[in-house]
Structures are given as structure tokens and as C-alpha cells.
Amino acid sequence: MKHREVIETITNATIEIPGIRALFLSGSYANGMADEYSDIDYVMVASDGATDAISEIWHKAVSETGKIVLWWDRLTVPVLINAITEDWTRTDIIILKPDQMGSQTKSSLKPLFDHDNIYEELAETSKIAEPNLPKFKYQIEEFIKILGLLHLAVGREEYINGVLGVFHLRSLLVDLLIEETNAPNRGGVLHLNRLITQDQKTLITSLPPAIPNRESMISAHLAYAKVYLPRARARAKQLGLEWPEPFEDATWDRLDDTLSVQRPYDPDCQS
């Protein structure tokens, strides 16, 4: 079933149900950026919120679009239900009470039905979020910590764990690149192509792969450090965030003592 038909079927299955006051599309189907690979995100307004009864109604509605092969009912978030049908159509719904709609905005929703004109009472757009300095500080320190664990992984010949370390460094670099672009409408984790620039993509793909042997593990860690740390320093300076100088210095000292590895960039040359 095509997504347009899924949306129409679910709308028709829920529009006359007592207690369901509104149903909106959210995510990429609300902001016009959906493609054939997108999931279908909904926000439902129910008088009593995310009850078991509403869950059963939603299960029945989704079942009309295809056989459900995955059903996560309020497992990670108490108002969220995730479903996948046999043709791999993914639907996510957040179920809220009317008085829980304050954080929603007109720009993030597209009404399917709205019995109480809830949409008209919403703010047009969200306020621009300020940079999350504690989170960024944690990410910098996490990068340096993973880098420092290189001496342990090499000493124990834990090359598989070393590969996992490279993946973590890569993830932190991607997060930093996304922050640099300040891209709107970030969507889910599978939308990286629209969140970073072509130069950033070229940079990421130029970095060495994670291979479970001593030489590759060391060279990959250093390559990511050479890219990440100067960029993170520049952003920290821009945001007025103090750099964890003692921690980074101690980490490079440890790597030098144990692996004869030196810092691959000059912090004094960073603007």
C-alpha cells in the first residue's frame, strides 16, 4: 500500500472514534520533505491520552494497512507507539492529551482531522534552540576518553573493541558536522545526506575504515582525532566553552608513553 493510501486508511479508521479529538501528520510528511523511504509520523490528541484502549484502536487502524510484523507499544516513551507492517511501512505515533499540545507548532504538523480546532491555537514555529553546551562538553570529553582508551585496547590486543572505538569517534564527528551546518528540519538519523555539506561528506569518506588490527586501529584513531579535535576546539571557542585542556594533554601524554603516539595537530595554531 502506498503511503498516501496508508494515511487515508488510518485517517478514515480513526476520525469517528469517540475520544480521539485530532490526528496530525508530523515529521517529514508535515514539513514536505518526505520521500518513498520515509516513515509516517503522527501526533494524535485523545481525551484521555495514551491509554490501552487508544492503543488497541491504533493497532486496529494500522492493521487495516497491512499485517503488523513489529509492534512497540509505549516501550521507550510512555506516549509513543512504533509499528512496521509486512511491506515495511513504518508508522510512529505520539498520543497526547489536549493540554499536552503546548510544545507542538503549526509548522511541525499537518492536520488530518481536528474536531476542536486545536491546530489554530498552536504557535506558528518553535523558538530557535540555543546550543546545548553541557551536551557538547560531554561529547568533547567522550571523544578524548575514547581516544585515550586506545592504549588499553592495544595493550590487551582488543582489536575488535578498538574497531568499536573508531565507530564511536565517527559518530561524534558526524554530530559535530551536523552542528556546524545548523541544518533545520533534521528529522531522523537516516537523513544525514541533507544535514551535511558535500565537503563534509568528502571529509568523512576520506577517513580510514575500522579494521581490527593494531596498525589500522591506531591510524584510524589518529585520523579522527586530527579532524575532530581542531574543529571541536573552534566551535567551543565560538560558543565560549572552556576546552578540557588538562584532560587532552594527559591523554596525549599517556598515548605517547605507551604507544609513542603524538598529537596529530597543533592546538596553538587553531584560530
What CATH number is given to the structural domain containing 23? 3.30.460.10
User: Does 120 score more than 90 pLDDT?
Assistant: yes
What integer pLDDT is reported at residue 252 of this predicted model? 97
Q: What CATH number is associated with residue 244?
A: 1.20.120.330
What integer pLDDT is reported at residue 97 of this predicted model? 97
Whole domain around residue 60: which residue ranges? 3-121
Give the end of a domain, one of 121, 147, 180: 121
Total number of domains in the chain: 2
Residue 127 is assigned to a structural domain of this protein: no
How far apart CA 203 and CA 29 sit, in angstroms, is 31
Query: What is the average per-residue pLDDT within 28-55?
Result: 94
- In a shared domain, residues 37 and 9: yes
Give the end of a domain, one of 83, 99, 121: 121
What integer pLDDT is reported at residue 20 of this predicted model? 98
**What are phi and psi for residue 209, nearest 5 degrees?**
-75, 165
What integer pLDDT is reported at residue 242 of this predicted model? 96
How far apart CA 159 and CA 268 sit, in angstroms, is 33
What integer pLDDT is reported at residue 197 of this predicted model? 83
Most confidently predicted of 27-31, 125-129, 195-199, 256-260 = 256-260
Indicate the average pLDDT of the chain.
92
What integer pLDDT is reported at residue 178 of this predicted model? 86
User: Does 253 score more than 90 pLDDT?
Assistant: yes
User: Does 17 score more than 80 pLDDT?
Assistant: yes
Q: pLDDT confidence of 270, banded at 50, 70, 90?
A: low
Q: pLDDT confidence of 130, banded at 50, 70, 90?
A: confident
Query: What is the average per-residue pLDDT within 31-56?
Result: 94
Residue, of 121 and 34, whose pLDDT is higher: 121
Give the end of a domain, one of 93, 121, 149: 121
User: Does 143 score more than 70 pLDDT?
Assistant: yes
Lowest mean pLDDT among 157-161, 223-227, 259-263: 157-161
Cell of 205: 569518506
Residue 241 is assigned to a structural domain of this protein: yes
Q: pLDDT confidence of 43, banded at 50, 70, 90?
A: very high
What integer pLDDT is reported at residue 127 of this predicted model? 73
What integer pLDDT is reported at residue 189 of this predicted model? 53
- In a shared domain, residues 104 and 194: no
pLDDT digits (tens, 9 = 90+) for 172-223: 999 999 888 776 555 555 567 777 788 888 999 999 998 999 999 999 999 9
pTM of the model: 0.79
User: Does 142 score more than 60 pLDDT?
Assistant: yes
| Percent of the chain topping pLDDT 70 | 94
What integer pLDDT is reported at residue 126 of this predicted model? 72
What integer pLDDT is reported at residue 187 of this predicted model? 55
- In a shared domain, residues 143 and 58: no
